[in-house]
Amino acid sequence: METPHPVKLTVLGAGPGGYAAAIRAAQLGAEVTLVERERVGGTCLNWGCVPTKVFKAAADTMEQVRRAGRMGLAVTAAAAIDLQALATRQAEVVRIQADGIHRLLRQHHVRYLKGEGTIPHWGAMRVQLPDGGTETLAWERLILATGSRPANLPALPFDGRRIWSSNHVLALTRLPRSLVIIGAGVIGCEFARILNAFGVQVTLVEMLSRLLPLPAVDADVSKVLQREMRKRDIAIHLNHRVSGCRVTADDVEVLLEPLSGEGDPSGRGTKICRAEGVLVCVGRIANTAGLGLEGLGIATDAHGGVPADARLQTGAEGIFAVGDVLGPARPMLAHVATHEGLRAAENALGASRAMAYNAVPLVVYSCPELAGVGLSEAQARARGLPTSVTRVLFRNVAKAHILGAIEGEAKIVAHAEGGRILGLHLVGPEAAELIAEGVAGLQAGLTVDELADHLHAHPTLSEIWQEAALKAAGRPLHG
Ligand code: NAI
């Protein structure tokens, strides 16, 4: 009897979506080739999540050293950032992760092919190899995981000298004295925190009316973050759009135009911000140009993303898409990409499972950290749900006092009838870690009463959930 041949599956892009898809497809018996033009790990590992968190860890340590006196320690020398040493540490952390990914690919017999892939027609991929040659691969299933790149502002094109993307900032060899950050989204707030801790004078400009103006970020936690950033002397201009800039020999003049009626048409309300550099972080654009998608009948949407159905299949049979290449219509987050990668591989090989987005944690490594999962209060009300909200301050939790980090709060958004949890939000110490319990609770469909009955070890920061749930259930203890 003839044995069926393994399905030939090609993945284009080896970021957290692509390499996860490749491994899962290999586990399911496919013959997998993973094509990547740069490095395994994609933006997340090389220019995003991982290197920025190495910077963030240094920023946290700086802050701890500065606050050492309050913790009962006498530290005599001032902490100073050593960018060279930090770059070495960053490279080492990235190398360890990259080596791990290569090892996993080898263990799963995934063929890793370095080169730039384009798709001349259904079933084929042409790969431009680094040595100048080309190789053509045959595939029966294709997973697109080509990611995204920083979006430009036409008035401020990146030059790497004075006008930077997040990639440029990570490669700086000297810190600027001052920096204007355009866009108070996730990247803007994270870099504001890091560079402020490093001693850079930071000005943050956002055209909407609050920090992190994403629907899923609750307005109350955003307000707390704004207060804490101002306490750290970060200048914040909300409701201002950057309308132009002038690069001089030693600095940049950025023009801020007031929105929402603050200014007047004569331009008299326009402000000028002067700084050594400008970081533009106004979103990311899907990497789709030049892949050959048009020839496959795959049209990109208004934001350049690839539309896909609930199973992550694009408009072309057998071609799936995962991660940032799907565009901002879905969360552009590394952990979402990984889950989409696993799901797409399974669906490409015969399963039919929809990707669920109802319990996606969003974490912002600001100071303090901010995290949320599920609906914000505004989203719940906009859906017409009878909504109850409960807020508890971190200062009600003993561990926050022990750590000397009492700023911030937790908020539970629940259904007013029955108490089913709809969303959980935090701003405060270790919010990025604490949200994991929120994800589990939301996914399990818990009510506030059920969450209140979970035992939380004492003293831990996780007790903030117990306090918030007890209060939401009408039986507050400390909160
Ligand atoms: P973003 O979409 O989160 O924020 C961009 C901000 O820029 C918006 O608030 C927007 O109103 C503002 N803006 C746009 N044009 C402007 C102008 N001319 N003047 C002033 N403000 C302007 O985009 P961001 O921060 O670049 O991040 C890109 C993606 O990367 C996001 O999807 C984000 O979720 C993801 N990411 C996630 C991280 C995490 O999970 N911790 C870390 C870093 C990035």
- Kindly report, residue by residue over 370-428, the tens digit of the pLDDT: 999 999 999 999 999 999 999 999 999 999 999 999 999 999 999 999 999 999 999 99
**What does the pLDDT read at residue 268?**
63
Task: Identify whether the C-beta of residue 303 lies closer than 8 Å to the C-beta of residue 325.
Answer: no
Element at 343 (helix H, strand E): helix 334-348
> What local confidence, expressed as pLDDT, does residue 4 receive?
77
Parallel, antiparallel, or unpaired: how do β-strands 271-275 and 252-258 relate? antiparallel
For 72-119, write each residue's pLDDT tens digit. 999 988 889 999 999 999 999 999 999 999 999 999 999 999 999 999
Scanning 28-80, the segments in alpha helix (DSSP H) are: 42-46, 49-66
Q: Answer for the pair 240, 207: CB distance below 8 angstroms, yes or no.
A: yes
Q: Name the E strands within 161-211.
A: 163-164, 178-182, 201-205
Does the annotation mark 458 as catalytic? yes
Q: Is the CB of 284 under 6 A from ligand 1?
A: yes
Token output for 189? 């707030």
| For the CA of 281, the nearest atom of ligand 1 | 26
From the CB of 206, is ligand 1 less than 6 Å away? yes
Per-residue model confidence as pLDDT tens digits over 293-319: 999 999 999 888 999 999 999 999 999
pLDDT at residue 266, rounded to an integer = 53
**455, 448 in Cβ contact below 8 A?**
no
User: How far from 296 is each of 54, 55, 121, 288, 336, CA to CA, in Å?
Assistant: 40, 41, 6, 13, 26
pLDDT lower than 70: segments of the chain = 1-3, 261-268
pLDDT, position 263: 44
Give the per-residue pLDDT at 236: 97
Confirm if 214 and 199 have CB atoms less than 8 A apart. Answer: no
Please say whether the beta carbons of 370 and 339 come within 8 A: no
In angstroms and rounded to an integer, the radius of gyration of the C-alpha atoms of the chain is 24
The distance between the two most distant Cα atoms of the chain, rounded to a whole number of Å, is 83
- Ligand 1 site, residue 364, Cβ cutoff 6 A: yes
At residue 304, the pLDDT reads 85
Give the C-alpha separation, 372 to 389, whole Å: 14
Q: Active-site residue among 109, 303, 425, 458?
A: 458
182 lines ligand 1 (CB under 6 A): yes
Token representation of residue 164: 């930077």
DSSP H or E stretch at residue 335: helix 334-348
**Ligand 1 centroid distance, CA of 159 (Å):** 19
Nearest CA to 141 among 22, 308, 4? 22
The 3-state DSSP class for residue 228 equals helix
pLDDT of 78: 85
Atom of ligand 1 nearest to the CA of 365: 41
Q: What does the DSSP 8-state code read for residue 40?
A: T
Alpha helices by DSSP H, 171-266: 186-197, 219-231
Cα 362 to Cα 421: distance, rounded to the nearest angstrom: 17
From CA 323, how far away is CA 391, in angstroms rounded? 33
